[in-house]
Structures are given as structure tokens and as C-alpha cells.
Structure 1
Amino acid sequence: MLTHLNLINFALADHLALDIESGFNVLTGETGAGKSLLLDALSACLGERTDSNYVRYGADKADITAVFSYQATSPEAQWLNLHELNDDTGEIHLRRVIFATGRSKAWINGRPSSLAELKEIGRLLVQLYSQHSQQQLLDPPYPRRWLDLYCGFAEPAKRVREAYSLWQKTIRQHQAAIAAQASRLQRIETLQLQLEELEDVIAINYSEIEQEFDQLSHHESIMQDCSYSLNALEEAEPNISQEISSIIRRLESHAGRSQQLADIHAALLNAQSELDDATAQLRQYIDRQSFDPERMEELNSELEVFHRLARKYRVQPEDLLGQSQQWQQELEQLQALEDPETLAELVAQTEQNFLTEATQLDNIRREHAIPLAKQLTEQVKLLALPEAHFEFRFEPLDEPNAEGLSTIQLLFSANKGIPAQPLAKVASGGELSRIALVMQVMNAEKTEAEVLVFDEIDVGISGGTAETVGRLLADLAQHVQILCITHQAQVAAQADQHLLVKKQQTDPASSTILCLAEAEQILELARMSGGLEINETTLQHAKQLRQIKFQKT
């Protein structure tokens, strides 16, 4: 539930802190007072698009925070745990800062977050219904979506979409297999020949034989340089080892007189040890070397094969192994492809699976459509449409699709004895708004969100019809929290909390939101009923509207 909103330099709000109660909350105010202020701020905290126009004139940024309470077993609690954002307070703090440059930042429970994360948690917390929702009724897929939502058919509908997707995928694979059959066999043969040609070569390490060949090619110069080095190290008179020993002896007598000379002496001792090891290894290397002309010829032949194949396949010699591995992988993939006959069987199988799932979905949709249409009829009759009648029409599709086997239309008649026709053909604007309102309220009963926002959805109704709408929303508010912007006194009279939006003539102009006490609410209801001049008649009417609320309670 939404418990608190804090707005700083947001649109017309200078600094506004508002506590929201549970139950049915209404926002009223004169045209232009800024009734959408609260909903715009809430939408910003839920990750909706914003721009610099939301920043109050003269300010460098707008700062909005929305606080929600939640239960430990709720979907939003699971989401917080999944994203490691649960702080064990039982509250969710959503904050959005919008800068005058147009960019914005967001936080969830104090941690910087993305707008995508705000939208994810927002969908679990709040469901918004606007005055333009009636246009959805004219969208051909809407009756099917509404039927599935209200009757809880999301899972079977998902299975149908997945089965259809798999069926279409196997069709594409089958068609591709037919088209590629000839080229596939030819490519397999080519790959097998190429791999056979590289079979012996890839068993040899190119880098190792290249290095070995290079050593044999320079054997004579290597041995000459090694012999010279060994002679200089220990066989010549004087040699390097003797000279270093002499230096060490000379410095040793002075090492106690200077720390720096002591360090030099130690370093030379280490160098002498390293030099002795290197000399021993050099002598060992010379003793083990021998020139093998046959081995050199063998290496030369192997390198010629590497270079010939590298030129043929336009790669570096050291890359032949990698090329062979790529060809082997491609060959295995081609060999693993099923032939068109096997794929044809799979197409038939996936088609049958889809038809089974789609038929089951179609059957339960038809079964539930009749009582749902009756329920919708009874609800709409309460809104001054006593002869309203609804029914769903199912017509088989020429070709099944991901949504099922049938198109689903919602038919309507407002007059007794007149056959029901598609809504778009026979419903007036006022009738559409009332039907949309009832369908939204029925949908709201099924939503998981704990906060429902209705933005002037009562446009186009008045009098007793508006009173009925107020009662519908008040009944719904027994189960969820409702925020409703309204111009209808009959709706506002049913509220548990009445919030009044007022524009203040400051410089620059600003808006504030007041929580009305009972006496103040009576005055606001009188204004909504009778205009600017409030008299005893309008006051009495406002009191009667509130009495209806209390009598019902």
C-alpha cells in the first residue's frame, strides 16, 4: 500500500509531504489546480518517462519519494529478496531525482537502480487506469485479453503461444532442410576431403618443429658462440670467473667499513653463484649437442607440407590446427542435421501438440465466456443501462495463430429486442465509457497490485450513475487501496480520505494538496455539485451524499 509521497520542486509543488490512507482516496480540485500532480509524481517513481518540464521553474532538480508498505509473503517482497534490496523494515522507498537538464537518477531502498528495475517493482505495486481506457475496447484483441485475464487463463494461453512457436520453428527447419539438402551433401564431402588432407599434419606441433629446424640450421654458429663463451667464462687466462673472484676478495676486506660496499659484496657473491650455474649448464648443453642431417631433412619436409597447405587454404601454418577444428565442428553439425523426412514427422508432431493445447484453451474460453458475459451485463445495468446485454462471439480462424483457434468479439446491445452487435458499431461514447469502467473494476478485482489508480475514469457519467460508480469503487477499496481523480461529487462522497488540490498564487505559482476533514469535505462536495456559489441547497445535497456513504457503512 502507498503510505507517503514527498515532492520537492516537482512541477507546481514546492515542498509537499502527503500521507495516504488505506481504502478509497479521492483527489478533487478546480480545473488547472494540478490534480494530476500526485499521479505524475507517482508515475515518475514507478519508472515512467520524465523530462525537464517536471522540474519546478527556477529549480535545478525535482526530487520525489514514494513509500509503500508490503507483506512478507507478497510478490514485491519476493522481488526485493531476489534483488537483495530487502531491508526488513516492511517498506519500499522509491526515489526519483529529475534534473533540469532532462536526465534523472533512481533509487530503491537507498540503492541506485535502473528505470527498468523501477518499472518491474512498479508493476507489482500499482495498476493505473485512465479516462482513455475506453479506447482499448475498440482494439480487436481486447475481448480475448480481458477474458483471459479475468478467468485466469494466462498459463494455458502461454502454453499455446509456446506450442505455436515450436511448431513454426520446425516448419522453418523442415523447409531449410529441403532447400539445403543438395548443398549439404556436397559440403559434407568437401569437408571430409579437407580434414583427411590435414589429418597427418595436425598431429605435429608446428611451433616445435620450426624451432628444432631453426636450431639445426644454425648448429655450427651456435656451437662456435657457445665454445667462445665457455672459454671466456672459465678456460682463458685470465677468465671471467677468476676476475670476479678477485673483485670479491678485494671488496670483502672493506665490507665491514661501509654498508654500501657490504651490499655490493653480497650482490657479487650472488652473481658469482649465478655465473657458476650458467657455466655448468653451458658446458652440459655443449656436451649434448650433435648435428643430425637426416633429422634436418625430415623437419624440412614436414615444414614444406605445412607451408604448402597453408598457402592452399590461405591461413598461417600455425593456424592449420584451428582451421581443422572449425571444419570438424561444421561437419559434425551438418551430419547431426536430420533429413527432411524426419523433420516432416516432427512438424506433424508439433502441429498436433499445438492443436491439442489450442483446442483445450478454446474450449475453456467458450465455457467461461457465457457466465462472464452475464456478469458483465448485470454490472453494466447498474450504470443506467437497464436493457444492456453482452455476449461473446467465437469465429474460427482461417489459419490458427499464436493466440488460438478463434477470433473473439464482444457483442453489445443497449435496447431490448435488438440483436447484439460488435461494440465498435453500436456503442455510443457514453456507453463505451461506462462499459470500460465496469470492465476495469472487474479487472481490478483480479490484479495482484495493492494500489489501484483511476484517473478520471468517470468522465461522461453523472447523477445516479456516478453514485453507483462511487459505490463500486468503495466496495473494491475494501480489498485494495484506491486513488481516484474525479469531478463527480457522487463519487467523491464515497471516499475514506478526500484530498483537495489547490493552486496558490505565489511567485511562481504553486499547488498544494490538503487532506479534508468532514466539514471541509462537505464544502468541497457542495462546490463540485453547485459551482462556485455554495448555498444551503448545495450544502444539504452534499450532506445527503455523505450520509449515503455512512448508511452503507
Structure 2
Amino acid sequence: MLTHLNLINFALADNLAIDIEQGFNVLTGETGAGKSLLLDALSACLGERTDTNYVRYGSDKADVTAVFSYQAQSPEADWLTAHELADESGEIHLRRVIFATGRSKAWINGRPSSLSELKEIGRLLVQLYSQHSQQQLLEPPYPKHWLDRYSNFGDHTQAVKDSYNTWQKNIRQHQAALDAQTTRLKRIETLESQLEELEDVLQVDYKDIEQEFDRLSHHEHIMLDCGYALNALEESEQNINQEISSIIRRLESHAGRSEQLSTIYNSLVNAQSELDDASSSLKQYIDRQSFDPDRMEELNAQLEVFHRLARKYRVQPDELKQQYETWQNELQQLHQLEDPEALAEQVEQAHQVFIEKAQYLDDIRREAATPLAIKLTEQVKQLALPEAHFEFKFEPLEQPSSEGFSFIQLLFTANKGIPPQPLGRIASGGELSRIALVMQVMNAEKTEAEVLVFDEIDVGISGGTAEIVGRLLAGLGQHVQILCITHQAQVAAQSDQHLLVKKLQTDPASSTIFELDEDERIQELARMTGGVEISETTLQHAKQLRQLKFQTT
């Protein structure tokens, strides 16, 4: 559960630290006080997108930290172990620093982490429901997804998707084999002919014969230049080797008198050694060279073949070897091409697997739909909709899909004697908000997250309806931790911890959050029900709301 939040220079918060309790926690405050401050900070720690507006005016960065406790055998414990982030404290510290430049950094238990890692662990820790969630009810896939989630059909729906994808993949492979079969034999014949044409030619390397041909073409000039070089090195009257030897003798006696001269002397000695080696190698090279006109004619013929084939296949001569290997690989793949008949059998097998899994999913969905609709009806009736009635409608799809066999609609009527119709066609905005609230609470009962956040989901309700919503959330708070922003005193009165958000008239403006004791809670509930002027009547009403909390627990 969430145990602590620390906000430094975050939006309107200067330096704010707050402890969060187990159970049902509410945040209230006047409009503009910054009630979303705490939830925005929590969202930042969970890897959600941020912007520079979160950095307090005049500061260069905002720094927020959320601390969670967790159980040893929980999904988040497994995640921490897998990422080598677990420690002995039994806590998870999520930290996010947002810079005024727009950049941000994140840490998990003190180790720098990516936003994707924050989101991964965040999904295991916190589930967020907002006042805009009612719009999801109007989206066609929502009833099916809600039914699957509430009924824990996640593994079955994934199995159907996987089997459908396998079936479709096999269909594509089979069709590709059929398409390839028509041109396969002709292409094999072409490739074999091309490879045969290149096979003998590529027994020699193009670059090697090109270099040898170039050397024979310039044989006379090479010998003349080599002879001149050898003569200059050691055969002429004033050759280079003799001159260097003379220089070395003159400097040898002075080398010990100067470190710099010693270095020069050693360099010249090394140069003389290198020149001696070069002269020796040049003599051997000259002795071994001979001009072979027959060999030159043979090389020329080979090069002509290379250039002819290069023009034919529109590549450079030195690229023919790579082209040969490419054709070899293609030929091998064509020989290994699967038999279309065998693939057709795989398609049928995959189709049967999909049909079995999809039929089973459809059956369990239909079986779960009726009792779930009854439960939803019972819950919604409490929210000033005494004649509410829900039922699921299953319509066969024209073609089975990865979602199964049926298109599932949630039908609703608020009036006795009126047949149920799709929600988007018949439900008013107020009815949608109450239905969405109940469905979210029911879904929350099934979530694995230990922290549920409700952001003003009670908008559009009041009076006795709000009181019932408060009871629903209070009951849910006995199993998980709840954070709820609310404007309804009837909801806030049912909470275990009441946090008040206040704006302070500092320069620049700031907000603070603090926990209310029982007397302070009565004052805040009276403000929420009676406005600015708190009378004895509103105080008595606030006390009665709190008494209802203790009577129901």
C-alpha cells in the first residue's frame, strides 16, 4: 500500500510530506485549492507524462517520492526480484525529478530507472479511475472487456487471441506456398543455370587476377624503376647507404654530449638498418621477376569473362561472388519450401484449436453474463434507480475474430415495462455516471493492485445516492487502500482518513495537505454541505453523517 508521499517544489507544493493510512482515504478542499496535487504527484512517480507546469514557479526542478509497502509473495515483489531491485526494508521507493527544461529522471529504490520500468511497477501497485471513465461505457468493446475482467477470463481470452493468430499465420504461409508453387520450378531452373555459369569463373578471385594482370602490363616500367632505386641505394658512386654511413660516423663521437643528438644518432642507425633490409628485399624482387606473355594472355581472357558476366547480371565484376552466394541461398530456400498440402493440414488443425477455445470462451461468457447482470442491477438500484435492469446481449459475428464468436452489448432500462436497449442509446448523462461508478467499484473488487485511486467519480450524484456510494467505497476500503477526491460530504463522511487541501496566500501561492481530526472533519463536512457560512444546522448534519459511518461499521 501507499504509505508516504513527499513533494518538493511540485506545482503549488513547496515542501510537503504526508503519510497515507490503510483503508478509505478522501481528499477534499475548496475549488482551486489543489486537490489534484497529490494524485498528480503520485502519477508522476508511476511514470505518467509530465510537463514543466509541475515545476513550482521560480524553481529549477520538482522532486516527488512515493513510498509503498508490499507483501513478500506479491506480484510487485516478484517484479523487484526479477529486476534486482528488492531490498530488506520491504518498501518500494519511487522517485521522479522533473526539470524546468522539460527533462525528467526516475529512480526505483535508489537506482536510476526508465519511465517504462516505473509504469510496469506502477500498474502492479495502483489502479486509477477518473470521472471521465463513463465515456468508456459507450465504446463497443467495453461490455465484453468488463465481463471478462470481472469474471477473471483473462487467460481464456488470451488463449483465443493466440490460437486465432496462429490460425491466421498458417493461412498466410499456406497461401504464400501456393503462390510460390506456380513459379517455383521455373525459378529453380533459372538459378541453377546462373550458378552453373558462374561456378567455374569464381574458382579464381577477381581482385587477385586483376592485380597480377596489372603487374605484368607494367613489367618493363617496374624493372626500370626498381633498378634505379637499387642503384641509388648502394651501387652508384655516391649512393644513399654510403652517405648515411658517413653521417653516422660524424655524429657518433658527439652522441654522448647531447641527449637530442643521441636521439638523432639512434634514428639514423635505425634508418640505415631499414635501408639495408629494403635493398636486400629489392634485389630478391628483381631476381624473381620475369615476363610471361602466355600468362598475361590467360589473365586477360579471364578478366574478359568476368566483365562479360558482370554486364550480363548488372553488377560490378568483384560483386559476382556475392551474387553467386545470394542465388545459392535463394535456391536452397526454394528447395526447402514446404509442401502446400502439408500446410493446408496445419491450417485446418489450427482452425480447429481456435474453434474449440473460442467456443469454450463464448460458453463461459454466456454462463457468467446473467448473474453478473443481476448483480449490476442490484447495485445500481441503490443509486436512485429503483427500476434499473441490465442484461447482456450476444450477437454472432459474421466472421470469428481474435475476440471470439460474439459481439457483446450491455442493455439497460431505467423504467419498468420498457425493454432494455444499448446504454448509449437510452441512458442519460446522470444515469451513465452512476452506472460507470458501480461498474468501476465492481471491477476494483477484482483488481490485483493494492491502491485504488478514484478521481471525482461521484460527480453528478448527491444526497442519499452519494451516501450509498460512500458506503460502497468504505466497504471496498476494508480490502484495499483507497484514495478518493470528492466534493460530496456523504462520501467523505464514510472515510477512514480525511485529508484537507488548502491554498495558502504566500508569494508565490502554495498549497498544503494535512490530516483532520474528528472535530476538524465535522467542520469540513459542514463546509461541504453548507458553504462558507457554517450554521448549527449544518454542523448537526455533519455530525449525523459521521454517525452513519460508525453505525454501518
Instruction: Give TM-score scaled by structure 2 length.
Output: 0.90
- Residue 542 and residue 244 in structure 1: after superposition, are their counterparts in 2 closer, same or farther (change >3 A)? same
Tell me, in whole angstroms, the C-alpha distance in 2 between the residues paired with 1:253 and 1:319.
60
1:93 aligns with 2:89: no
Corresponding position of 2:251: 251
- For 1:521, the aligned partner's letter is R
Tell me, in whole angstroms, the C-alpha distance in 2 between the residues paired with 1:157 and 1:203.
59
CA drift at 1:54? 4.0
CA drift at 1:82? 4.5
Once superposed, what is the RMSD of the aligned Cα atoms? 2.9
Corresponding position of 1:168: 168
- 1:529 partner SS: helix
- 1:291 partner SS: coil
CA drift at 1:403? 0.2
CA drift at 1:447? 1.6
- Residue 372 and residue 263 in structure 1: after superposition, are their counterparts in 2 closer, same or farther (change >3 A)? same
CA drift at 1:420? 4.1
For residues 371-394 of structure 1, give each alpha carbon's deviation from its aligned partner in whole angstroms, at most 9, with x where no partner exists.
Answer: 333333343344344554433222
Tell me, in whole angstroms, the C-alpha distance in 2 between the residues paired with 1:257 and 1:94.
69
The answer to whether the Cα contact below 8 Å between 1:45 and 1:96 also exists between their aligned partners in 2 is: no
- Residue 533 and residue 243 in structure 1: after superposition, are their counterparts in 2 closer, same or farther (change >3 A)? closer
Point out the more displaced range, 28-37 or 247-256: 247-256
- For 2:107, the aligned partner's letter is I
Identity of aligned residues (%): 75
- 2:487 partner SS: coil
CA drift at 1:8? 4.0
- 2:164 partner SS: helix
1:374 aligns with 2:389: no
Tell me, in whole angstroms, the C-alpha distance in 1 between the residues paired with 2:213 and 2:93.
72
Question: Aligned runs of 1:110-259 on 2, under 5 Å?
Answer: 110=110, 113-179=113-179, 181-237=181-237, 239-259=239-259
- Residue 242 and residue 106 in structure 1: after superposition, are their counterparts in 2 closer, same or farther (change >3 A)? closer
The answer to whether the Cα contact below 8 Å between 2:65 and 2:93 also exists between their aligned partners in 1 is: no
Point out the more displaced range, 453-462 or 534-543: 534-543
Corresponding position of 1:514: 514
- Residue 204 and residue 88 in structure 1: after superposition, are their counterparts in 2 closer, same or farther (change >3 A)? farther
Corresponding position of 2:47: 47
- Residue 483 and residue 193 in structure 1: after superposition, are their counterparts in 2 closer, same or farther (change >3 A)? same
- For 1:299, the aligned partner's letter is L
Question: Aligned runs of 1:421-500 on 2, under 5 Å?
Answer: 421-500=421-500
The answer to whether the Cα contact below 8 Å between 2:61 and 2:98 also exists between their aligned partners in 1 is: yes
- For 1:91, the aligned partner's letter is I
Tell me, in whole angstroms, the C-alpha distance in 2 between the residues paired with 1:54 and 1:245.
80
CA drift at 1:327? 2.4
For residues 403-458 of structure 1, give each alpha carbon's deviation from its aligned partner in whole angstroms, at most 9, with x where no partner exists.
Answer: 00111222334456655443334444333323222221121122222211111222
What runs of 5+ residues in structure 1 fail to find an aligned partner?
none
The count of corresponding residues between Structure 1 and Structure 2 is 551
- 1:321 partner SS: helix
Point out the more displaced range, 8-17 or 143-152: 8-17
- Residue 30 and residue 264 in structure 1: after superposition, are their counterparts in 2 closer, same or farther (change >3 A)? closer
CA drift at 1:339? 5.3
- 2:514 partner SS: strand
Corresponding position of 1:546: 546
Point out the more displaced range, 136-145 or 187-196: 187-196
The answer to whether the Cα contact below 8 Å between 2:52 and 2:98 also exists between their aligned partners in 1 is: no
Corresponding position of 1:295: 295
Tell me, in whole angstroms, the C-alpha distance in 1 between the residues paired with 2:505 and 2:255.
92
The answer to whether the Cα contact below 8 Å between 2:63 and 2:95 also exists between their aligned partners in 1 is: no
- Residue 512 and residue 243 in structure 1: after superposition, are their counterparts in 2 closer, same or farther (change >3 A)? closer
Tell me, in whole angstroms, the C-alpha distance in 1 between the residues paired with 2:284 and 2:217.
21
CA drift at 1:53? 4.1
Tell me, in whole angstroms, the C-alpha distance in 2 between the residues paired with 1:483 and 1:416.
36
What runs of 5+ residues in structure 2 fail to find an aligned partner?
none
Point out the more displaced range, 300-309 or 360-369: 360-369
